[in-house]
Amino acid sequence: MGHLYLSRELTPGAMDAVRSLGLPLVVHDDPDRPPPRQRLLDDVRGASALITLLTERVDDELFDAAGPGLRVVANCAVGYDNVSVDAARARGIVVTNTPGVLDESTADVAFGLVLATSRRLVEADRFMRSGAEWVWGPQLFVGLDLSAGATLGIVGLGRIGMAVARRAAAFGMRILATGSRASSAEAHALGVQPADLSRLLAESDVVTLHCPLTPQTHHLIGAQQLAAMKPTAHLVNTARGPVVDEAALVHALERGVIAGAGLDVYEDEPRPHPGLLALDNVVLLPHIASAGRATRDAMGKLAVDNVRAVLAGDPPLTPVPG
């Protein structure tokens, strides 16, 4: 049996699970940065299993470098747009992801961004730290009330979107959603109304994205879609950066086409569009939506359980769909 390659040290609970496999282990030695490509290619040589992160491109070149003993790639993320799934399948390599365990953590941050952008919380924090003179005033940092009949539009109502819908329902928001689960009994019970994208964009006060990145969702939100939103509306993205045309978003935020945005992900990650950095009406996070400690432990453990199952000849727990 070859080694297990891990492209970054995980959280302590997840590392305990990794060690419990009892496999020879190669862990990239910089905990803060992904392995440079050539280093990655060198270190996977002879591996039976890889635990990868969304920062690695997992493709034919990597499979060639690993060699014929590679049996499983456990991507430690729910998204797997970094993995060439067809190339893996053609070689009989199993690909798994980590659905389910990060729904609540991701929904917390998505809803945190809904609050932060609509109530201008980060802008107000910057104002306080600037040392500016201030006194309470009826118009100081007024923003959008969420509970006063505001509408949340959830694009791609899956597991994470549903967790966001539960939060929005608790806030008394009206909820519109796209996606097949928008018509489910669970969605209905939360008061979710199914809508197509154009109605959702036109009627929502906050639009939050929860679809995977696929060729169909690349630039799903561009200049035309932003123009279809209300000028008082906000956009939240905790899905994947390229779902939004980031240059078009900067343009829209600069010109008041929409009121604000809260972003956890970027089109050219880790670099946000420079125009975003100059804007006050956008909240920027460094892709931390699943960064709850227990959640990160659970993601690592699920990746390990997938590796264990495949190497034992059992079906993986959470193979990528399709």
254 is catalytic: no
Task: Report yes or no: 212 and 81 within 8 Å, Cβ to Cβ.
Answer: yes
Nearer to ligand GLV, 46 or 319 (CB): 319
State the maximum Cα–Cα separation within the chain, in Å, rounded to a whole number.
Answer: 68
Pairing type for strands 94-96 and 192-194 reads unpaired
The single residue among 51, 78, 182, 207 that binds ligand GLV, judged by CB under 6 A, is 78
Nearer to ligand GLV, 118 or 290 (CB): 290
Rounded distance, CA 130 to CA 141, Å? 15
Q: Is 58 in the site for ligand GLV (CB under 6 A)?
A: no
Question: Applying CB under 6 A, which of residues 79, 153, 194, 316 lies at the interface with ligand GLV?
Answer: 79
CB of 104 to ligand GLV, least distance (A): 13
Marked catalytic residue, from 240, 273, 296, 308: 240
Regarding 10 and contact with ligand GLV (CB under 6 A), the answer is no
Tell whether residue 7 is a contact of ligand GLV (CB under 6 A): no
Q: x/- binding map, residues 260-299, to ligand GLV, per CB under 6 A?
A: ------------------------------x---------
User: Binding to ligand GLV (CB under 6 A): which residues in 130-159?
Assistant: none
Closer residue to ligand GLV, CB minimum distance, 239 or 252: 239
- Identify the residue among 14, 26, 58, 77 touching ligand GLV (CB under 6 A): 77
Asked whether 217 and 178 are in contact (CB, 8 A), the reply is no
Residue 61 annotated as catalytic: no
CA distance readout (Å), 90 to 25, 32, 56, 60, 94: 26, 33, 20, 10, 10
Report the phi/psi class of residue 84: left, alpha or beta, with left for phi > 0 and alpha for psi in -120 to 50: beta
- Residue identified by tokens 């996977």 is 44
Count of residues interacting with ligand GLV (CB under 6 A)? 6
The answer to whether 83 contacts ligand GLV (rule: CB under 6 A) is no
Q: Strands 72-75 and 49-52: what pairing?
A: parallel
Look up residue 247 and give its two tokens: 């240059």
**Residue that is written with structure tokens 């003993």 in the block:** 69
The stretch among 20-28, 71-79, 269-277, 307-315 that binds ligand GLV (CB under 6 A) is 71-79
Phi/psi for 215 (5° steps) reads: -55, -30
Task: Assess contact for 113 and 238: CB atoms under 8 A.
Answer: yes
Active-site residue, 240 included: yes
Q: Applying CB under 6 A, does 54 fall inside the site for ligand GLV? A: yes
**Is 309 near ligand GLV (CB under 6 A)?**
no
* Among the residue ranges 77-85, 169-177, 222-230, 313-321, the one whose residues contact ligand GLV (CB under 6 A): 77-85
Decide the pairing of beta strands 49-52 and 25-27: unpaired
φ, ψ for residue 269, nearest 5 deg: -60, 140
Active-site positions?
A: 240, 269, 287
Q: What residues make contact with ligand GLV under the rule CB under 6 A? A: 54, 77-79, 102, 290
